[in-house]
Amino acid sequence: MSTLFPNLRRRVANLVDHQIYADKHALDNLSNELLQHRTPLWRPLEGLSRDATSLKVTNLQRVIESIDGIIISPGEAFSFWRLVGKPSLKSGFRKALGGIDGSLVMHMGGGIPQATNLIFWMAAQGPFEVLERWRHTYDLFPDVARTLPFGSGATVLAEHRDLRLKNSSVHKVQIRLWLTPTHLHGALYSDAFIPLFDVAESDHRIVDQGNGKFTRHNKIWRIIDGEKKLLVENNALLSYVPTDSTVIERRPISE
């Protein structure tokens, strides 16, 4: 019942949406490789076994089957859910471990946001206008060998929380995704050279809100030719207690 009205709003919005969405795939790479990135399938976190997260690989493979090779022409948009469809057993998805309301639980399509995180990070550096991106409400784990800024991904929820990106260049852009035993890989290709953005973080802080609650904040910027433009601002609740050395700010306790 909690998702009824958001889903209804999404369906109504789709009826009046005049955006053209990419739906053509090609498994031959376009001529110019813009960038590659990869993320580990397994994280060395206490209490998180490989068996507990293994089912997400099935879900990621299903995502890859729907997205790999998608060609986004100039002016077209990428919509994650339009390509992937609602996760279900019938469509090849499984219940796997994933984050829901700050906790790790088994749910249909668990682990899918690893793909949207990767796609958004690549898109942040590429010629895309962000039409829709949802930040993660919770920071589930302390940093372990983090190489990217906090909050540089995008979460999704079937039907009413999508990742949508518009190709704002005059060239075609292609998204490739693939799995190896240890990583999810992605790449962007185009039919001509396209300059990329640098991505930088600022204003990062973890705040002690009192009563055992902590929040995490930052801003992520695009920089090209010296021009700095805000891409996203993140605010999340922590699902763990940070070490004292990582707490940047403490709210005064009101009397």
Q: What is the pLDDT of residues 7-20, one digit of tens each?
A: 666 666 666 678 99
* Higher per-residue confidence, 245 vs 31: 31
Average pLDDT over residues 230-249: 86
Residue 248 lies in a domain: no
Task: Indicate if the pLDDT at residue 196 is higher than 70.
Answer: yes
Per residue in 148-189, pLDDT (tens digit) is 899 999 999 987 899 999 999 999 999 999 999 999 999 999
24 pLDDT above the threshold of 80? yes
User: Would 228 be classed as within a structural domain?
Assistant: no
Residue 133 lies in a domain: yes
> Which tops the pLDDT comparison, 251 or 247?
247
DSSP secondary structure, the chain, as one string: -TTHHHHHHHHHHHHT----B--EE-SSPPSEEEEEEEEES----TT--HHHHTTHHHHHHHHHHHHTTEEE-TT-EEEHHHHH----TTTT--EEEEEETTEEEEEETTTTHHHHHHHHHHHHHTTEEEEE-B--SEE-S--SS--S-TT-S-B-BTTTB--EEEE-SSS-EEEEEEE-SSEEEEEEEESS--PPPEEEEEEEEEEEEETTEEEEEEEEEEEETTEEEEEEEEEEEESSPPPGGG--EEPPPP-
Specify if 251 maps to a domain.
Answer: no
Domain assignment of residue 70, yes or no: yes
Q: Is residue 239 part of a domain?
A: no
The 10s digit of each residue's pLDDT in 99-155 is: 887 777 888 999 999 999 999 999 999 999 999 999 989 998 887 767 789 999 999
Over the stretch 60-113, which tens digit does the pLDDT of each residue have?
Answer: 999 999 999 999 999 999 999 999 999 999 999 999 888 887 777 888 999 999
- Residue 2: per-residue pLDDT: 46
Residues spanned by the domain of 73: 16-195
Give the residue-averaged pLDDT of 19-48. Answer: 89
Q: In this structure, is residue 79 part of a structural domain?
A: yes
Query: Which range scores top for mean pLDDT: 1-5, 38-42, 100-104?
Result: 38-42
pLDDT bucket at 254, cuts 50 / 70 / 90: very low
With respect to residue 235, please indicate whether it lies within any of the assigned structural domains: no
Total count of domains within the chain:
1
